[in-house]
Amino acid sequence: MGDFEMDRKVLETHASPQTQRDLSLFFEPQSLAVIGSLREGYFGGYVVIKTLLKAGFEGRIYPVNPSYQEVLGLRVYPSIKGIPEEIDLALMIINRRSVPNVMRECAEKGIKAVVVVSDGFAERDEEGVRLQEEIVEIARQVGMRIIGPNTAGIANPANGLIPDPYEMGYERVKAGGIAICAQTGMINPQAFPYADIRYGVSKICDYGNKCDVDECDLLKYLENDPATRVITMYLESIRDGRRFLEISRRVTSKKPLLILKSGRTKEGARVSVSHTGSLAVDDQIFDAACKQAGIIRLETFHELFELPKIFVSQPLPKGNRLGIVTFTGGVGVLAIDEGEKYGLSVVKLSPETRTKLNAIFPDLGKKIVDIGPAMAVINNYMDIYSEILKAVLLDDHMDCLLNIIWTSPFEDFVEEYLKFYDGLKGSYQKTIATWIYGPSLSLIHKMSYRMEDLGFPVFSNIETAIKALGIAYQYSNRKKGGA
């Protein structure tokens, strides 16, 4: 397995590239078999079932284990063949050596979709490589599809399918328009506070060792998934670069596709190529290919969990004219620098707007609308804040707004803001990205989440907020360019 012993995606023999059936059995099963230990604890089949019940899974759950009669009020079946119904999806968390036999039972039962959570396959040792080849062969013979092995699993919050194997309060994951996929469990809810930051997802998929289902299969499924409004992916390798870009080109004519790719540097790429031998070797080539295919590239891990938000609650900007409302002129040049990276240009507001702003407070009607000086000396602050924001948002010279909010450490202050934004929501046609700063971290967080609830995406850094507007602008150009 080479010098660098990466614990994932070593062997990527493709089970059934000819199988064109989509992945809806994985994400919308009517019946689900959970095969594995039912011992209580933080990890395993018991947790899967507990979370499914809490999340209100809409399908029927069939626990499979020879040693139990009943778990959490559900009847337990000693084996798969004993289940009296057709099974759409099987999920197994069992010892790796048991997987091939259980796969065969699944095949006999006619199951067409299996998630193999179990690890210890091609990512571990020679025996694991052989076991992985074996299950791929079993699946190929009957047209069964596999997600995994070595995966933290999948999720579809809309129907309560949150069968992840860790006890983590998954049932709180909010349904929304963002699909997130990766060859790592770092995107699953045991790793990321989806609920806390109100990150609404349509589908989550860690495709693990991708012995069968891969990035292309997922793209094709998500392309036509009506719940998915934006797709974000973390890739380490791409099995078939040409096919991936072809599908991506089609997908991006319908919805935005955001990709973080590792293996960008020489050493990283060396590791990547040793696993895949595929397109992703030269980062510059990949970059150019992304541009052609309309893919938006991400640069950091946290962007996976922030930037897609701009596409689910905000309209696309009609042009590149950036407005800035702030409490400090000091971030002006920063905003200009960052905006220029994405083709955004700080707008001069219309003469009418500038007159309106100057009437509210002297010198307010500038390129960068700095509320700071007014803030310090005016009593009816929130009235004025409201007038300023509305004046700027109505200006047709502006396409998108970088909305910088300073918040005090006083709770009532935050409530006033939220009251205003509650009234504002839905009444404008501009793309708004918000960054909140101030002296109290807990209030910044509280205000951020409630702003998100109101439909205003809040970003953790000023540069990320600007990038969100930048990629929204770039994607609006992609859409104009035609499908």
User: Which one, of 335, 258, 342, lies nearest residue 303 by Cα?
Assistant: 258
Considering only residues 219 through 258, tell me which ones interact with a second copy, judged by CB under 8 A: 234, 236
Which residues, including other chains, have CB under 8 Å from residue 284's CB and lie 6 or more apart?
none
Stretch that binds a second copy, among 129-137, 190-198, 240-248, 424-432 (CB under 8 A): 190-198
- Beta carbon nearer to a second copy, 249 or 302: 302
Work out how close the CB of 263 gets to a second copy at its nearest, in angstroms, rounded to a whole number. 5
Contact segment (CB under 8 A) with a second copy among 66-74, 107-115, 218-226, 329-337 equals 329-337
Cα–Cα dist 72/47, whole Å: 10
The residue range among 54-62, 77-85, 238-246, 434-442 that interacts with a second copy, by the rule CB under 8 A, is 434-442
Nearest alpha-carbon partner for 178 in 303, 29, 343: 303
Member of 19, 329, 350, 479 binding a second copy (CB under 8 A): 329
**Among positions 12, 28, 88, 119, the unique one binding a second copy when judged by CB under 8 A:** 119
Q: How large is the angle between the packed helices 241-252 and 283-293, nearest 10 degrees?
A: 30
Output phi, psi for 168, to 5 deg: -145, 20
* Ranges within 463-482 binding a second copy (CB under 8 A): 463
In the bound state with a second copy, the residue whose beta carbon lies nearer, of 16 and 272, is: 272
Residues 6 or more apart in contact with residue 193 via CB below 8 angstroms: none
Binding mask 442-461 toward a second copy (x if CB under 8 A, else -) reads x-xx--------------xx
Token output for 408: 């005090």
- Binding track, positions 377-406, relative to a second copy; x by CB under 8 A: x----------------------------x
Among 134, 440, 454, 455, binds a second copy (CB under 8 A): 440
Select the residue interacting with a second copy from 189, 200, 294, 323 (CB under 8 A).
189
Q: Which stretch binds a second copy (CB under 8 A): 96-104, 106-114, 330-338, 393-401?
A: 330-338
- Rounded to a whole number of angstroms, the minimum distance from the CB of residue 385 to a second copy is 15
Rounded distance, CA 424 to CA 444, Å?
A: 20
Least spacing, CB of residue 48 vs a second copy, in Å: 13
Could you say which DSSP state residue 18 is in? T
Q: Which two tokens stand for residue 310?
A: 């701009």
Residue 334 interacting with a second copy (CB under 8 A): yes
From its phi and psi, is residue 466 left (phi > 0), alpha (psi between -120 and 50) or beta? alpha
* DSSP-based three-state secondary structure for 356: helix
- 272 is a site residue for a second copy (CB under 8 A): yes
Near a second copy in 157-176, by CB under 8 A: 165-166, 168-170
Instruction: Cite the DSSP H helix spans in 93-240.
Output: 99-109, 126-142, 215-223
* Site residue total, a second copy (CB under 8 A): 83
Q: Kindly write down the DSSP assignment for every residue of 269-289, as one continuous string.
A: HHHHHHHH-SGGG-HHHHHHH
For the CB of residue 191, give the shortest distance to a second copy in the complex, in Å.
6
**143 Ramachandran zone, left/alpha/beta (phi>0; psi -120 to 50):** left
From residue 335 to residue 354, what is the string marking binding to a second copy with x (rule CB under 8 A)? -xx--xx---xx-x------
Nearer to a second copy, 257 or 324 (CB): 324
**Residues 287-326 as x/- pattern, contact with a second copy by CB under 8 A:** -------------xxx------------------------
Nearer to a second copy, 175 or 424 (CB): 175
Q: Are 389 and 430 in contact (CB under 8 A)?
A: no
- Strand ranges (E), 294-382: 296-298, 321-326, 345-346, 368-370
